[in-house]
């Protein structure tokens, strides 16, 4: 069997042995009654880490963001300002509008994941005119997935928070990969989210827990969040089974995240060093564990075609050009961000050996396709 290197997402990570042990051995109770000691311990721990009063354990990052929006925008006719490349706008099925009755108004994300503050200022609507909605919330994303795992600059975070305060608008951070931002910047997570009214974090991405996210904020915010979680069907009973793994993830895997960033940097540098016209990366823009590779806009080469080829093993590869420990070749899995962008994600299960096998395969395939499709 070919050796598979799965670089599609950090969500593919499976629980560690320590997580499995904790899942079997943790104390449990009914969390809808607030009686699961393990969930309570996780909620206290994450709230403390982020310097907030309270937290709520929820099944997914999507639900965490939706709950935050529904709490902040609890008056009908509310509007959220959000980046056009944000997960909330692009990948959550418009749940905020669908289920929350909230208008999502988009601002153009810059390549670094921020958006223009003057534009925010211009877009804020105070609801004084009967024709218009009321801007109630600004939602930001850190790290920024579609911008290639970019870490939002601290200065920009301070500025957007000040702007929100000036207009009495709440600030929510989709921090699905907040701990990657902290590992890159060296800042404490609590400093990064200091001025946010709410934050969502995921335990099931680079942190490798099997499931779960948290939404974090003030006592008052979490009281309302708890009601909405129940309404959405996210009230879980003996949820300590999974919360136990999230606690281990924070202790065991969080300190290792920088290693994923280092390996992402190596991959980006190797691809850059190939000097191929068809495949571009920007290692100097590489912050965390996501590596974006762009294809030329006018070439017939598409992301889908590259991904298909990375999943095939040809005879020449197994006969020595791309040799593996078992001589059966390497399959690399990645995802298509759009027809001209591929995303590779580094995570705990990508060891140095897996990385080098992936690099060997990617180099082989990129050179082959570049020779075939290069724009003359
Ligand atoms: C930035 C960001 N926010 C939110 C989510 C949603 O998380 P979940 O898949 O747990 O719903 C993701 C998932 O990849 C994400 O990348």
**Centroid of ligand 1 to alpha carbon of 201 (angstroms):** 9
Segment 232-270, tens digit of pLDDT: 999 999 999 999 999 999 999 999 999 999 999 999 999
The answer to whether the pTM exceeds 0.85 is: yes
- Does residue 375 carry a pLDDT above 70? no
User: Pocket of ligand 1, candidates 91, 143, 144, 337: which has the most ligand atoms within 8 Å of its Cβ, to mutate?
Assistant: 91
Arithmetic mean of pLDDT, 135-139: 98
Radius of gyration of the chain (CA): 22
Q: What's residue 286's pLDDT?
A: 94
Exposure pattern of 243-267 as b/e (b: 16+ CB <10 Å)?
bbbbbbbbebbbeebbbbbebbbbb
Asked, as a colleague might, if the bond just before 59 is cis with ω within 30 of 0, I would say no
Closest C-alpha to 242, from 94, 59, 97: 59
Q: Residues enclosing ligand 1, CB less than 6 A?
A: 60-62, 87, 141, 145, 174, 176, 202, 204, 213
Atom of ligand 1 nearest to the CA of 60: 10
Arithmetic mean of pLDDT, 78-102: 97
Distance from C-alpha of 302 to C-alpha of 295, rounded to nearest angstrom: 7
Nearest-CA residue for ligand 1 atom 7 is 61
CATH pick for 15-253 out of 3.30.9.100, 3.40.1400.10, 3.40.640.10, 2.160.10.10: 3.40.640.10
Domain limits, the chain: 3-10+256-373, 15-253
Segment 188-211, tens digit of pLDDT: 999 999 999 999 999 999 999 999
What fold is seen in the domain 3-10+256-373? 3.90.1150
Arithmetic mean of pLDDT, 85-94: 97
Atom of ligand 1 nearest to the CA of 59: 10
SS3 105: strand
**Centroid of ligand 1 to alpha carbon of 94 (angstroms):** 14
Greatest CA separation for the chain: 72
User: Pocket of ligand 1, candidates 172, 202, 211: which has the most ligand atoms within 8 Å of its Cβ, to mutate?
Assistant: 202
Q: What's residue 325's pLDDT?
A: 65
Atom of ligand 1 nearest to the CA of 177: 1
Mean pLDDT of the chain: 96
* Sequence-separated (6 or more) residues with CB below 8 Å from residue 217: 52, 53, 54, 55, 68, 71, 197, 198, 199, 225
- Does residue 376 carry a pLDDT above 60? no
């Amino acid at each position: 069997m070919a050796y598979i290197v799965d670089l599609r997402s950090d969500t593919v990570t499976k629980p560690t042995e320590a997580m499995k042990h904790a899942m079997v051995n943790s104390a449990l109770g009914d969390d809808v009654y607030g009686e699961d000691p393990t969930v309570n311990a996780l909620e206290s721990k994450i709230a403390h880490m982020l310097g907030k009063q309270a937290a709520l354990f929820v099944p997914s990052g999507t639900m965490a963001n939706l709950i935050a929006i529904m709490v902040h925008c609890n008056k009908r006719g509310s509007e959220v300002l959000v980046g056009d490349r944000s997960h909330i706008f692009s990948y959550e099925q418009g749940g905020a509008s669908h289920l929350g009755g909230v208008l999502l108004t988009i601002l153009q994300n810059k390549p670094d994941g921020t958006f223009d503050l003057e534009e925010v200022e211009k877009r804020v609507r105070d609801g004084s005119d009967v024709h218009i909605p009321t801007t109630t919330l600004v939602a930001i994303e850190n790290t920024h997935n579609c911008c290639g795992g970019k870490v939002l600059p601290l200065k920009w975070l301070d500025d957007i928070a000040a702007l929100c305060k000036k207009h009495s608008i709440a600030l929510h951070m989709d921090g699905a990969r907040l701990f990657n931002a902290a590992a890159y910047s060296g800042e404490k997570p609590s400093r990064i989210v200091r001025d946010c009214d709410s934050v969502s974090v995921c335990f099931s991405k680079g942190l490798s827990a099997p499931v779960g996210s948290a939404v974090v904020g003030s006592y008052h915010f979490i009281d309302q969040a708890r009601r909405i979680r129940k309404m959405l069907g996210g009230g879980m009973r003996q949820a300590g089974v999974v919360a136990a793994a999230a606690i281990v993830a924070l202790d065991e895997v969080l300190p290792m995240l920088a290693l994923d960033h280092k390996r992402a940097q190596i991959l980006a540098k190797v691809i850059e060093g190939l000097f191929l016209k068809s495949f571009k990366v920007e290692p100097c823009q590489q912050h965390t564990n996501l590596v974006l590779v762009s294809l030329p806009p006018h070439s017939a080469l598409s992301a889908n075609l590259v991904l298909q080829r990375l999943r095939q093993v040809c005879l020449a590869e197994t006969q020595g050009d791309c040799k593996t420990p078992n001589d059966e070749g390497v399959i690399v899995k990645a995802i298509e961000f759009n027809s001209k962008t591929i995303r590779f994600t580094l995570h705990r299960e990508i060891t140095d050996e897996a990385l080098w096998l992936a690099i060997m395969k990617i180099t082989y395939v990129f050179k082959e396709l570049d020779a075939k499709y290069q724009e003359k």
